[in-house]
Amino acid sequence: MYTTKEIAEYYRDKNEAALAAGTDQTEAAQVLQWTEEEAAHMRAYSCPSCGAQLIADENTAATSCPYCGNPTVVPAQFDGALKPDYIIPFRLKKEEAVKKLQNYYGGKPMLPKAFSSQNHIEEIKGVYVPFWLYDGVGAADLQYHGTKSHSFSTANEHVTVVEHYEIVRKGNVEFSKVPADASSKMPDELMDSIEPYDYSQMVDFSMSYLPGYLADKYDVSAEDDSKRVDVRMKNTTINAIRQTISGYSLSPVREYININPGKVHYAFLPVWMLATKWNGQTYLFAMNGQTGKMVGDLPVDKGRFFMYFIAIAVIIAAIVLLIGFLTIH
């Protein structure tokens, strides 16, 4: 039996040597492969329902899929896919995640009991979700038609003066490690919603962080994910440059943005996940395993909804009758 410190020391030299080489979008899938010795201590699991491919250390048991809630997750062949450059370890323990989830559910009176039951909440799973992290520079060439107006009155008339301006801005915005999840099973809007992550706690990847958690194998390439990140960089670049303009009503004439790509990194980021099926639909809940920020789709129990609606209607009717009675007398 090895300690976490011993395992981390064993992998440190290999990780640092690989990271020193860096990577760009064309090389991202060619570095940091699992060694035969590392692969021997890894296990792969496949969900026959949604097709999710999960990996874990040899001592971690997978009993259900965190994406669809299917209770049958079967062993699969571990094929040694790309190993991450970095990892952000889980900061929130399971007990803390369960408590936060209980509080979250507690404020939702229309939630079906199947969601809020203690046994169900305990099924929450810690998953390292694969992410591509992109560096780059956004070069902006912007032109706007700006107007300013002011009014004054004389003895005979009210005058409004409108001033017209041509406003030009050029500049660069640098980006470091813009995230995009690399799992097709994970809804992008869910992962965007639980951002941000604190990169100051990001460390070189080591298998010592995996015990007790599942990890999703990426199935979206860095090239495919880059299209979504380019849009994000472009919008951020425009917003950043436009913040240098104030006091005008603006109409865009030209908004030219060129994204110059930089290095692409591969990382595991921590997420607490819970999947629940209700009336034939799967609802996915996600919590940032570092900060505790949470988001999820929740169903409404129609029976409870109508009970609350009727109760509120009765209360309102009683108040109206009481006011009417007091007014008459």
pTM exceeding the 0.85 threshold for the entire prediction: no
Q: What is the pLDDT of residue 276?
A: 77
Q: What is the pLDDT of residue 17?
A: 45
For residues 287 and 279, give the distance between their C-alpha atoms in angstroms, rounded to a whole number: 24
Rg for the chain (alpha carbons), in Å? 27
Q: What is the pLDDT of residue 14?
A: 42
Q: What's the pLDDT band for 304 if we cut at 50, 70, 90?
A: low
Tens of pLDDT, residues 111-141? 666 666 655 677 788 999 999 999 999 999 9
3-state secondary structure 218-247: CCCCHHHHHHHHHHHHHHHHHHHHHCCCCC
Q: What is the pLDDT of residue 239?
A: 93
Cα 57 to chain center, whole Å? 24
Q: What's the pLDDT band for 79 if we cut at 50, 70, 90?
A: low
Domain residue ranges of the chain, discontinuous segments joined by +: 4-298, 300-329
Q: What is the pLDDT of residue 30?
A: 44
* Whether the Cβ atoms of residue 54 and residue 47 lie closer than 8 Å to each other: yes
CB-based contacts of 123, cutoff 8 Å, min separation 6: 64, 69, 274
- Which is higher by pLDDT, 206 or 307? 206
Q: What is the pLDDT of residue 20?
A: 46
Answer yes or no: is pLDDT of 23 > 60. no
Residue by residue, DSSP assigns 120-131 as HHTT-EEEEEEE
Q: What is the pLDDT of residue 7?
A: 39
Tens of pLDDT, residues 150-185? 898 888 889 899 999 999 999 999 999 999 999 988
Q: Which residue has the tokens 């939702």?
A: 108
Q: What is the pLDDT of residue 48?
A: 83
User: What are the tokens at 162?
Assistant: 């409108």
Alpha helices in 80-197 (DSSP H): 94-106, 113-116, 118-121, 188-193
Q: What's the pLDDT band for 315 if we cut at 50, 70, 90?
A: low
For residues 106 and 1, give the distance between their C-alpha atoms in angstroms, rounded to a whole number: 42
For residues 97 and 89, give the distance between their C-alpha atoms in angstroms, rounded to a whole number: 14
Answer yes or no: is pLDDT of 27 > 90. no
Q: What is the pLDDT of residue 90?
A: 95
